[in-house]
Amino acid sequence: MPSSTLSRARLLSRLGGNVPADRLEAAFFASKAEVQAGAGDALEVSVTPDRLDLLSEGGLALHLEGALALADGAPRLRRSRAGAASWRCSVDGSVAPLRPCLAGVVVRAPPGAPMDDGLLAEAVRFQELLHATVGRDRRAMSLGIYPARRVRPPIRYALEPLADVEFVPLGGERPMRAEEFFADHPLAARYGALGRTGDRCLTLRDAKGTILSLPPVLNGRAAGEAAAGDRALLLEATGTRERAVREGLGLLLVVFASRGWSLLPVPVDGPGGASSDGSALVTSSVRSLPASTVREIAGEPLRSNDVVAALGRARLGARRARGGWNVLAPPWRPDLLAPVDLAEEVILARGLRAEDGVVPPSGVRGRRRDSTRFRREVAELLLGLGFAQPNTTVLVPEAAAERLPGSAPVRLVNPVSREYAAVRDRLLASHLDVLARNTRHGYPQRFAEVAPVVVRTSRGAAETRSHAGLVVAGEGSGFAQAAATVDYLLRAYDVGAVREPAELPGSIPGRGARVRVAGETVAELGELPPELLERLAVPVPVAWAELDLTALGPLVARRDSTK
């Protein structure tokens, strides 16, 4: 779960000072945020990936104000008009191959309340968190924060020759040529390839020609160093996809909008005459919530006033409409995509509580399904053979999927992080990560688990299946060990099988095999090739096997039924 360390004092000050611990705990319980730890002023909070807005003091304060009945309804989005005629961005067509999307908003502090050190720290911390999640480590989206007093609009976003670019990097003391910056700066080493192609790099310049930043790498010091006391800031986002840019910038706005800062969208002129006034970035969107969805999710019909009140406590605006309600969602709530998401907000705002367990008066009692018992039996057999049990997730990084050429993982269209960018189609994709993370431990290493995978069907859909995967790493490990373990597991169920050679992802040619029962593939096994072991930094041979328990279970049950 994404997490961040917030300031306890700043959060409580937004809630009117000292909130009793039991009330605060109850408010957290009925939310998608959880306090993990905290000492002194530090408050470590983790959230579900769809509520990143709660990882800023401003976003979390908005939510808790509603949960504690300190405020109600959607926060007011104050629109600014000052300087509206001058603020504008132009996007040169040259940026299209790298990061074609740009959006910007100018935020202004309310009278007498300029930015302080705490607000600046919150904004920068939340900016980096959004880079890692929505931005996929800046690949899909990156954000910039600039003091508006140092920027002279309009702004131009273009791809320029390195020889024409010179600036003082943020945190630097002297001007640097772009060639030197990309060659020597640590952030350029990490992110430079995302904003550079050949001898040209992305730039944001203002009307004076001042470099605001080299997206998505680093701001320039002259116009890109915000400080306490600033009363107006330019927030911008560049990226590869319009949706990621809108989501990232919309989430960053909660830091300032929650404290009453006014918002001015920056119009963007694109290549070929395309343009946008940017107003959608600073306007609450209208979502429809049918009464039938609320009834289905809640399990009972709810009165209209109760639904409106619950949505108000969730800091959403709502009004009665034909067949349901119209709900106002602020820019920092990109998670509200469908009616079911709004219904979930109603349920959470009405309150969750622990209920007493009561066994209904029935002569029929529930029991574990046969497939569940079968999976547990296989897991116990593997444990008895001395295999340690790792805990891996069904979502894997892009790199894990790429390690097995020929496999077909389901890739997510809009992952929240590069670390969770694909759904594994075999446990081996996760077990390679386990091997890579444990190279400092001694060998032999033996581990196995029973867990879900998602595989593509012949009709292009996907289905969840249960697999049992095992790995043996050590001197002398080989195909024979994996085959013997698979034979043992099948003999435990008195199942006869046929093993046939096969070329498999993650196996040395000639050292892979499939196992069939009644003509159906129930297992695959092999040895990892040397080049893959070298990439993982694993110094010993590794054998692996993977059983498809979803396929094997019915065959075992069919055999038992015929005895």
Q: Which value, in Å, is the radius of gyration of the alpha carbons in the chain?
A: 28
Indicate the domain borders of the chain. 3-67, 89-282, 285-350, 370-561
| Predicted pLDDT at 128 | 96
The pair of structure tokens assigned to 302 is: 């709810």
Q: Do the domains 285-350 and 3-67 match in fold?
A: yes
**Three-class secondary structure of residue 129 per DSSP:** helix
The residue assigned the tokens 């569940």 is: 372
Q: pTM above 0.85?
A: no
CATH architecture, domain 89-282: 3-Layer(bba) Sandwich (3.50)
**Three-class secondary structure of residue 375 per DSSP:** helix
Characterize 427-459 residue by residue with b for buried, 16 or more Cβ atoms within 10 angstroms of its Cβ, and e for exposed.
Answer: bbbbbbbbbeeeeeeebebbbbbbbebbbeeee
Question: What is the secondary structure of 14-43 as a DSSP string?
Answer: HTTS---HHHHHHHHHTSSEEEEE--TTEE
pLDDT tens, position by position, for the chain (563 residues)?
A: 789 999 988 998 988 877 887 888 888 877 888 887 777 888 899 999 999 999 999 999 999 999 998 999 999 999 988 878 899 999 999 999 999 999 999 999 999 999 999 999 999 999 999 999 999 999 999 999 999 999 999 999 999 999 999 999 998 989 999 999 999 999 999 999 999 999 999 999 999 999 999 999 999 998 889 999 999 999 999 999 999 999 999 999 999 999 999 999 999 999 877 889 999 999 999 999 999 999 998 888 899 999 999 999 999 999 999 999 999 999 999 999 999 999 999 998 887 666 656 666 766 667 788 899 999 999 999 999 999 999 999 998 877 767 888 787 888 888 878 788 889 999 999 999 999 999 999 999 999 999 999 998 877 788 999 999 999 999 989 999 999 999 999 999 988 899 999 999 889 999 999 999 988 999 999 999 999 999 999 999 999 999 999 999 998 876 555 55
CATH 3.30.56.10 for domain 3-67, yes or no, is yes
| Predicted pLDDT at 421 | 86
The residue assigned the tokens 């273009």 is: 158
The pair of structure tokens assigned to 151 is: 């920027």
Q: Comparing C-alpha atoms, which of 279, 255, 331, 269 is closest to residue 102?
A: 269
SS (H, E, C) 338-369: CHHHHHHHHHHHHCCCCCCCCCCCCCCCCCCC
CATH 3.30.56.10 for domain 285-350, yes or no, is yes
- Neighbouring C-alpha atoms within 13 Å toward the C-beta of 188: 19
The residue assigned the tokens 């603020």 is: 87
User: Helices 57-67 and 242-257, interaxial angle, to 10°?
Assistant: 70
| Predicted pLDDT at 167 | 95
- State phi, psi for 409 to the nearest 5 degrees: -65, 155
User: What's the order of all strands across the beta sheet hosting 33-37?
Assistant: 3-7, 42-47, 33-37
Question: What is the secondary structure of 29-97 as a DSSP string?
Answer: HTSSEEEEE--TTEEEEEE-TT-GGGGSHHHHHHHHHHHTTS--SSPP-PBP-TTTTT--EEE-GGGTT
Euclidean distance between CA atoms 268 and 281, whole angstroms:
12
| Predicted pLDDT at 462 | 86
Euclidean distance between CA atoms 91 and 278, whole angstroms:
14
CATH architecture, domain 370-561: 2-Layer Sandwich (3.30)
CB count in 10 Å sphere of residue 475? 9
| Predicted pLDDT at 403 | 83
| Predicted pLDDT at 1 | 77
Kindly state the DSSP code that residue 552 receives in the 8-state scheme.
Answer: H
